[in-house]
Every structure is written in structure tokens, then in C-alpha cells.
Homo-oligomer: A and B are copies of this chain.
Amino acid sequence: MYLTDRKVAVMGAAGAIGSNIVQDLLATGTARRIAMYDPFGPGLEGAALEILHCAFPNAEISWTTDPAEALRGAAYVISSGGAPRKEGMTREDLLLGNCQIARGLGEAIREHAPTAEYVIVIFNPADITGLTTLVYSGLRPEYVTTLAALDSTRLRAELAAAFAVMPDEVTGCATYGGHGEKMAVFADGIGVSGIPLRDLLQGATVNDRTLSQADWTALQERVRNGGSQIIKLRGRSSYQSPAHQSVAMLRARIECADYPWPCGAYFATGAYANVMMAAPVSFDVFGMAAREPVGNAIDMAALAESYQHLAALRNEVIQAGVLPPVERWPEYNPHL
């Protein structure tokens, strides 16, 4: 009835994202043994009681304000436990504070959940918090990731709206690199009802609708600001979509299944070395395997710029002493 009986630790479980993750893990039949952690005790208890009141069959729900207890023996960890982004803040504003939280998470995983096989970090700026968690956790890079899907699902939703088609009619949507304003919104590989985007940009139509280069540039910009748009509309940052896609990632990891969206991945070598960034992945028994993104010249230039931005953010965190210098990472994590 559930994909796994193994323990899932949900960190930040009193929050809107965390409590939604717990519900979604159960509703999708993904996991039934869930440890909820949050530093805010009353909210945590309230969220846990709500989950109990949902009455999911055979669920084993525990909750604690002690992260060690939540993590102990966990096979999987999903953490939304950062400070949330407020209207007007960029993700980068949150950088150092949330990287400190990520460092604590990594250290706690190293101590209490060293056999964890998948850790999903979803607090912003997720590329850097995920990287920080990886360095301090001591886990293999194939086991540590960040949620990176939403920029791509937003791209798909924007294109579906632009051509008045069902979202499933739009294929090949991906944004790579950083999750922040410098994300690379790829054009290469996109199709709408089977028509390549490059043809649409040269006048081909779907539903009698066209997309000019200016439309596409504006659409890419809306994707980059997709998170802010949700805050403006709902008065709060998105919580349902990050929760659901985190659970979808975990399902793919457990089932060694296809996952159609980018995930945050660490590259040890190559053009994108020593950052964590959105990349195409596949899952097998060894964990998550990432490939370097491939696109047209414009896409690749945007990705190179996004990588530079991520490397600069990483260096800022190293400068602040929250991450060790790159050459010392193997002392903290032998898999790097």
C-alpha cells in the first residue's frame, strides 16, 4: 500500500510546506513511517494532530522538537526548515542565515542519519543550502539533492497558457543552473503539441497562436519571477507545489523511476564543478545520476552565466566561513 516502510524525516514539519509534505507522502502512498521535526513545538503538535486526524491507514507518525530523534535511522530526509522568503526579498537575501541552518542539518545527518539514502533540501537559496548540506553531511553526492522542478513546471504552465493547450501537450521544459533570478530557461528541446519551440519562434502556430521572440523573452522572465508571482497572488510563498514535487522526487528515488524534471545535483568535475545546480537526472540503485545539460548556444551561454553566479554565491558563503574552502571539502565529506 505504501512504496516504502522505511523512515522519512520531515524537517520543518510545522510549516506550510513541511506539513503538506507529510500529507502528500501519505496521500500518494509513498511512505507511512514519518518523523516530523520542527523547533516550534505547538505548531508541530498541531500539524501532527491534523495528520493523525486525516486517519491515513497504517501510518506511523511521530513528532519531536529534537532533530536528532527525528533523524535517527531515517532512510530519507526532506527539509523545508529554513526561514521563508518574504515579498521583495531575493532568494540571495536569505543566503547566509539559511546556509547556517543547512550546515546544522548536514552535521545532524552525519551524526544521526549517516545511512540516509536521499536528502532533499528545499529551503532557499536551495542550490547553496543543498550544497552546504552535502558538504557537512558526509553523504555521497548521489544521495543529496535540491528541489529544482518548479521553475520548469512554471515554464510548462506558461507555455500551455500561451498556446491554450493542456500542460501535458507541452514537452521538454527545463530550466537549468541556479534556482534564482539567474536561472537558465532553456529553449532547446521544448515542443508544443509536437511543434518545436524554435519553429514557433519563427512563425509556426498552435491553436492559431504565435510566440514572438519578445513574447518568449517576456515569458522566460515570468518564469524567473514565478515564485514572486505566487507571493503576490496568494500573500504567501508557494507551498503546495514544492511539497508535492519533493514527494515526487522521493518516489522516483525509491522506485528507480523516471523523473521528468531537473533536480539539484553536485558535479565533481567538468564545466559545472563544485556547485549544486539544476540538471537532468536519472535514478538507479546507486541513487541519482546527473548529466550536464545540453542546449542551443543561447541556452548554454545562459547556463554558463548561471554557473558563474552560483560559484560566486558559493564563494561568498566560503568567505563568510559557513562553508570550508573547496579544497578542504574532502576533509568534511570523503565522497567529494
A contact residues vs B (CB 8 Å cutoff): 14, 19-20, 23-24, 27-28, 42-43, 45-47, 49-60, 149-150, 153-154, 156-157, 160, 166-168, 226, 229-230, 232-235, 238-241, 244-245, 248, 260-261
A232 cross-chain contacts in B, Cβ below 8 A:
42, 46
- 24 A-B contact pairs sorted by A residue (CB < 8 Å): A20-B23, A20-B240, A23-B244, A24-B27, A27-B28, A27-B244, A46-B229, A49-B157, A49-B229, A49-B230, A50-B234, A50-B241, A52-B167, A53-B153, A53-B154, A53-B157, A53-B245, A54-B240, A54-B244, A55-B167, A55-B245, A55-B261, A58-B168, A60-B166
User: Which of B43, B50, B167, B229 has a CB less than 8 Å from the CB of A238?
Assistant: B50
* Residue on B nearest A19 in the bound complex, by CB: B240
**Among A53, A239, A261, which residue has the most Cβ atoms of chain B within 10 A?**
A53
Sample of 19 further A-B pairs with CB below 8 A, known A52-B153, A55-B167:
A14-B234, A20-B240, A23-B240, A28-B28, A43-B233, A43-B235, A46-B229, A46-B233, A47-B234, A50-B240, A51-B240, A53-B153, A53-B157, A54-B240, A55-B153, A55-B156, A55-B245, A55-B248, A55-B261
